[in-house]
Amino acid sequence: MRYIALLLLFVVATPCFSEIAIHTKDGRTVRVQVEADEISRIEFVTTAPPPAKPITAPTPAKPTFIQALLNGKDRPGEAWGDSGGRWNFKLKITSYDRATGYVVGQITWPSLSSVHRVRGKLTGDKLTFTEVEAIRPGGAHLNVSYTFTLGNSSATGRWLDNGDKSHGGAKIK
């Protein structure tokens, strides 16, 4: 009898712990220990998620040279003849068909008082076009063909005047 009373005293004096196990959808188990005599009820309460972090716009990526070339704005350039002469120009692509690569635009020659329509094609990193029509006639020749290789920040290439067969180099910046 003495042992039973001692055992009852031990049971009453020893705190009894319970464990609440929470099983998450991703397979984790979160366990929380509590004293059993402290629990009056257990309920599941849904709370609002924590406030979302404010959305910050990502830093816009620097446009590629091709994107800058196709944005409808003037791009500065320079042409030079193999037998001498240097001419600044502005090239503006006004139309681009992504499916065919077909481009239309204009090239302005300030020192030659000329503006010409250009037509050509953009294929991969190659841009080719020809001056086909005078928008504002001046000292520049029509029927001049250009072939450029596009780089990260500029394009370099060659030109050929199909009329007088003069030729040289060019760069679009």
The CATH number of residue 124's host domain is 2.40.128.120
Cβ 154 vs Cβ 69: under 8 Å: no
| pLDDT tens readout for residues 57-67 | 565 555 677 88
In this prediction the pTM is 0.63
| pLDDT tens readout for residues 32-42 | 777 777 777 77
| pLDDT tens readout for residues 5-47 | 443 444 444 555 667 777 778 888 877 777 777 777 777 666 6
Which residue segment(s) compose the domain that 131 sits in?
Answer: 65-172
In this structure, is residue 25 part of a structural domain? Answer: yes
Cβ 150 vs Cβ 121: under 8 Å: no
Do 120 and 75 belong to one domain?
yes
Average pLDDT over residues 112-119: 95
Bridge partners, 71 (sequence order) = none
